[in-house]
Structure 1
Amino acid sequence: MPRPSRREDVRTTAARIFRQQGYLAATMDLIAEEVGLNKGTLYHYYPAKSAILYELLSEQVDGTLELLARVPLTGSGYDRMRFFVREQVALVATKQDELVVFFQEVPWIDQRLPQAQARSIHQRIYRYEEFVKALLAEGTRTGEFRDFTPATVLYSIIGLLAYLPNWYRRPASAGTDGWLIDEVTDFVMHGISAPTTGPARGEETGGEGVHRRRGVRRASTAGAASR
């Protein structure tokens, strides 16, 4: 009977090590030791450290592109943008090591990866950025969003999302807390919406709902501190 693959264990462990020590400081020896494999078996799964990094980066950008494919093709710019933000918050909040590594290492992919792989990552990131900028530009054109430069809003949202896994720690299997999705989405949408666009705060969440989520957040934070 063939042994079960340890590929996922290798990838998960490498993501943690890349996050904690940085890509350059991490070694295949250390990854093999942490996973409990000999070096020969590790190279069976990945021929080089760069192959692990490429797979980690690809998974993150491909997951985001799949999310964009679910954004409704019709409807108001406000509703389509709100859908995008909610889905992306839910996606990134439990990625933790993988997402941190993505934003930590993607500025250096031309030095870290073979040329063809680096170009592939750049092309996919470009597709994502152009989609979101077009969505923002549409909302500005229809008067639903403030007259911001789309790139300014895009990179501000990316920065907010990139930092989520640094403070919100929850197992991926547990999903993302609803209050987090609601509050981050409200924060973004209220920031970019024209003054008269979108439902009032009370209509979106309900006055009592806001307090309930804040209570959950405080309890969650206290629980994390006690652990």
Structure 2
Amino acid sequence: MPDAITTDKPTKTASRKQATVKPAATRRKAVPGAKHEDKLTAILRTAAQLFAQNGYEATSLDMIADRLGMHKATLYHYVNNKESILYQCLVKSFGNLDTVMKSMEDRTIPVLERLRLFVRSLAEAQNNDFGRCLVLVGAGPLDNMTGDDIRQFQRRLDQTVRALITEGIASGVIRPCHPGMVSALLFGALNWVPRWYSGKGKFSIQDVADNFVETLVKGIGTGAA
């Protein structure tokens, strides 16, 4: 191959190219998978909203695609089917609750304080788009294999509350009661919030959670803490 011919004056084409090329130091490097993840998150969030509003069965892939302004075929670049969308939405609803449940084992923090933290964290997780989807739709539409993952996580939430109540009874800050019944009472109250809470009133979701937990504590507490 012959050597490139050089001239003192660059051609107009070369000048134009040089003007549009950014220095290497200033060019942004694309994060591998970031664009895909952003689009996937948007799909899941939109689906979660529609599942909560219309129900799982009444929500079609066409409806999800229309809300996003994309073709239905494009969805299949990111998800396999409607069931996989629901499963991923429910997994996202867990948020940081795994970390919160682990922190409930820290006995250097008074048990009633841990209970308050748990209720606040759960209320916040249940009242975002993914959390509402979990509460209002649940794992029922999923097959046994994937649905069991969700139900197992929900059982862990229940076991966390039971363990806190049992610990509180043993330490004397909670009066003798049935931990399972207290857990059912707490989750029954919290699970109803996504059905009526809109975020447009004067109370934040943290205000609601604090109100609930204080009412609960006054009912089961001994006043020793």
Tell me the alpha carbon deviations over residues 167-191 of structure 1, each in whole angstroms, 9 at most, x when there is no partner: 33239xxxx5654443233122212
Task: Work out whether residues 61 and 125 of structure 1, in 8 Å CA contact, stay in contact via their aligned partners in 2.
Answer: no
2:71 aligns with one of 27, 38, 43: 38
Task: Work out whether residues 89 and 184 of structure 1, in 8 Å CA contact, stay in contact via their aligned partners in 2.
Answer: no
Which sections of structure 1, spanning at least 5 residues, go unmatched?
199-227
Q: Indicate how the Cα distance of structure 1 residues 58 and 39 shifts in structure 2: closer, same or farther if over 3 A, else same.
A: same
Structure 2 matches for 1:25-104, cutoff 5 A? 25-61=58-94, 63-71=96-104, 73-75=106-108, 76-92=110-126, 94-95=127-128, 97-104=129-136
Q: Which has the higher contact order (CA 8 A, sep 6+)?
A: 1
Structure 2 matches for 1:1-227, cutoff 5 A? 4=35, 5-61=38-94, 63-71=96-104, 73-75=106-108, 76-92=110-126, 94-95=127-128, 97-106=129-138, 108=140, 112-170=141-199, 176=204, 179-194=207-222, 196-198=223-225
C-alpha displacement of 1:157: 1.1
C-alpha displacement of 1:3: 9.7
- Asked which structure has the greater CA Rg, the reply is 2
Look up the SS of the partner of 1:41 in the other structure. Answer: helix
Task: Work out whether residues 62 and 72 of structure 2, in 8 Å CA contact, stay in contact via their aligned partners in 1.
Answer: yes
The residue type paired with residue 213 of structure 2 is T
Task: Work out whether residues 32 and 38 of structure 1, in 8 Å CA contact, stay in contact via their aligned partners in 2.
Answer: yes
C-alpha displacement of 1:134: 1.2
1-structure distance, mates of 2:83, 2:178: 36
Task: Work out whether residues 18 and 101 of structure 1, in 8 Å CA contact, stay in contact via their aligned partners in 2.
Answer: yes
Aligned CA-pair RMSD: 2.7
Segment drifting more, 143-152 vs 51-60: 143-152
Look up the SS of the partner of 2:58 in the other structure. Answer: coil
The residue type paired with residue 58 of structure 1 is V
C-alpha displacement of 1:59: 1.6
Tell me the alpha carbon deviations over residues 24-55 of structure 1, each in whole angstroms, 9 at most, x when there is no partner: 11111111111111111111111100111101
Partner of 1:208 in structure 2?
none
Which sections of structure 2, spanning at least 5 residues, go unmatched?
1-29
Segment drifting more, 178-187 vs 55-64: 178-187
Segment drifting more, 181-190 vs 43-52: 181-190
- Structure ranking higher in helix proportion: 1
1-structure distance, mates of 2:65, 2:121: 35
Q: Indicate how the Cα distance of structure 1 residues 153 and 161 shifts in structure 2: closer, same or farther if over 3 A, else same.
A: same
Task: Work out whether residues 46 and 52 of structure 1, in 8 Å CA contact, stay in contact via their aligned partners in 2.
Answer: yes
Look up the SS of the partner of 2:211 in the other structure. Answer: helix
Segment drifting more, 180-189 vs 121-130: 180-189
Report % sequence identity: 27
